[in-house]
Homo-oligomer: A and B are copies of this chain.
Amino acid sequence: MELQEAKLKYIQTWGSLATNWGVNKTMAQVHALLLVSTKPLSAEDIMETLQISRGNVNMNVRALIDWGIVQKEFVVGERKEFFIAIKDIWELFKQIAKERKKREIEPVIKVLNELQDINDDSEEGKEFKKVLADLSKVTTTVNNILEKSIRADEHWLLSNFTKMVKK
């Protein structure tokens, strides 16, 4: 397979996989494009390669910057902005873990806590409390693992994960 062909295939595929996990297709493609680009890209570069509008590029690049996985970069002699993606994949993994924790896990923990105090001692009430408590336990455990992963360095992560899997 040729390099350019492989890159395009990667970008396309990443986009369609993303939709399976509820991620905007274009956002995934922009990220994939920046990830495999050897040089910083401008909004125009992205527009051309992905055949999308200026507004769309702006929105999605902004979202990626919000996720902390893309950064602005200034090129000497150029007035416009360029963008690059974090290339260190473990760093990328940690950054995504951090954001998902904040956006997805923490709100769940908050809600579960709010629901805890129920004034009901019936059998049904007890069962409901049990379900809530169990959900809390799993969620908190997942949260703690993410927390730890985010703070860890690559070596710790790999060795722990590997240890876990081997045992």
Of A50-58, A60-68, A71-79, A158-166, the stretch lying at the interface with chain B is A158-166
Report the separation of the CA atoms of residues A89 and B141 in the bound assembly, to the nearest whole angstrom.
13
Which residues of the other chain, B, contact A59 by a CB distance below 8 angstroms? none
Report the separation of the CA atoms of residues A20 and B107 in the bound assembly, to the nearest whole angstrom.
10
Q: Quick one: given A38-B127, A89-B131, are A1 and B144 in contact (CB under 8 Å)?
A: no
Q: What 1/0 mask marks residues of chain A from 98 to 141 whose CB sits below 8 Å from any chain B CB? A: 00000110011001000101111011110110011011011001
| Closest chain B CB from A67 CB (angstroms) | 14
Report the separation of the CA atoms of residues A165 and B141 in the bound assembly, to the nearest whole angstrom.
9
A2 is an interface residue with CB less than 8 A from chain B:
yes
Nearest chain B residue, comparing its CB with the CB of A123: B38
